[in-house]
Amino acid sequence: MLPRNSNFAFSNYYYMNSSFENKPVIGISCGDLNGVGPELIIKTFSDTRLLEFCTPVIFANNKVINFYRKSLADINFNFSSIKDSTRINPKQVNVYNCWEEDVNIAPGQLSDDAGKYAIISLEIAVQALKAGKLDGLITAPIHKKNIQSETFKHPGHTPYLKQIFEVKEVVMFMVAENMKVALLTEHVPLKDVAQYITKDAIISKLKLINDSLKKDFGINKPKIAVLGLNPHSGDEGLLGKEEEEIIKPAIKEAKQKDVFCFGPYSADAFFARGQHEKFDAVLAMYHDQGLIPFKSLAFGEGVNYTAGLPGVRTSPDHGTAFDIAGKGIADESSFRAALYTCLDIIYNRSENKEQYKNPLKKMSAAVLRNAVDEKIALDES
């Protein structure tokens, strides 16, 4: 059995229903060349059982992968080298060579070249996803400082993907087995957060979260909690007006649009009392409000998912980890979880499409179960 604490619905489905060649093709961008990304990729895909469920395509080059493979002497990792997406080998891990030139690799060091080639990997992988050559994409960590250039001015993956896919709205959605946390604002300085707290923004995010929970996670009637902005959720206006003037009206209007949402809740008490366990997702107002409790409670298997894209993109919930890069001690649990989440979402989207094609499919199964139960009851009487 594959190492996972959550339900890997996709693997069971494909093991029973798909031919070897029909496995989803999953792209992997290599991340910062001096970070833990390449090590995590090698550790994850050294488990050859994963090839039963997907065809991995790593966007990097042979020399980078070989550099880190040599430093992991106890791990057996083989790959097929390709330069053309039509030559993908479904029976092996594939390394798509995005560049040929030698690049200096210095694990743990922040360098311009490491950022430059991380973006080359990302851009080629994203274009393949957009063109339909990939079924999903996992992005290894990048460093926000060394990726900046004249052609790339984004603070991270999420705004870049939003621009490339030309969508109106996306949500940075942190996902784990025991909780899901979405962010209203992402990489915004704390002093500027309040100006982004608007009724329209909250309603837009809530609608997208609601749609994603249904389509991407198979939850029929999602229940969403909304956190307040201020301490104690404003104490009825004594500690800030945003809850009374913006957040509460937004929740009320979202409910009228068939979004099952509640709040605003005081963030400290909400997580301390385990209230997040009563909801399918939580909308946090700013980065640390959501990510501190998420990373504390996700038990090392958190995943960053970009909801709202036509393609599926996930990533581990951590950064480049320069302090341990190249030492062979990086934990691949979050990266592996990102792969499983990507596959689960692909499967759930496929099932969602099938249900729309045949809306009686789900009802028929329920009727059949009831019929069986009634027969058993009659036999026992």
What are the pLDDT digits (tens) for 125-163? Answer: 999 999 999 999 999 999 999 999 998 999 899 999 999
Of 228, 263, 297, which residue sits at a domain end? Answer: 297
Q: 200: domain range?
A: 179-297
8 & 153 share domain: yes
pLDDT category at 356 given cuts 50, 70, 90 is: low
Give the CATH number for residue 224: 3.40.718.10
What residues have CB less than 8 Å from 338, skipping those under 6 apart?
Answer: 138, 303, 304, 314, 315, 316
Handedness of CA 164, 306, 155, 224 (dihedral sign): positive
Q: What is the pLDDT of residue 292?
A: 95
Q: What is the pLDDT of residue 358?
A: 63
Strand ranges of the sheet holding 171-175, from the earlier edge strand across to the other edge: 80-82, 94-97, 55-60, 25-29, 136-139, 313-316, 303-307, 171-175, 180-183, 281-284, 224-227, 261-265
98 & 6 share domain: yes
Assigned domain for 267 exists: yes
161 & 240 share domain: no
22 & 146 share domain: yes
- Which of 308, 283, 279, 277 lies closest to 228 in space, CA to CA? 283
Assigned domain for 173 exists: no
Largest CA distance in the chain: 78
Residue 220, classed as helix, strand or coil, is: coil
186 & 291 share domain: yes
Of 297, 313, 346, which residue sits at a domain end? Answer: 297
281 & 204 share domain: yes
149 & 219 share domain: no
Average pLDDT over residues 344-354: 88
228 & 247 share domain: yes
> pLDDT: is 9 or 269 the higher one?
269
309 & 290 share domain: no
Assigned domain for 275 exists: yes
Report the Cα 297 to chain-centroid distance in Å: 17
Of 297, 314, 345, which residue sits at a domain end? Answer: 297
Q: What is the phi/psi pair of residue 370, to 5°?
A: -65, -40
Evaluate whether 98 touches 70 at the Cβ level (below 8 Å).
no
Q: What is the pLDDT of residue 359?
A: 59
pLDDT category at 73 given cuts 50, 70, 90 is: confident
Report the Cα 151 to chain-centroid distance in Å: 25
Handedness of CA 31, 303, 124, 15 (dihedral sign): positive
| Count of the separate structural domains present in the chain | 2
38 & 158 share domain: yes
Assigned domain for 348 exists: yes
Evaluate whether 258 touches 249 at the Cβ level (below 8 Å).
no
364 & 275 share domain: no
Evaluate whether 83 touches 97 at the Cβ level (below 8 Å).
yes
Q: What is the pLDDT of residue 352?
A: 78
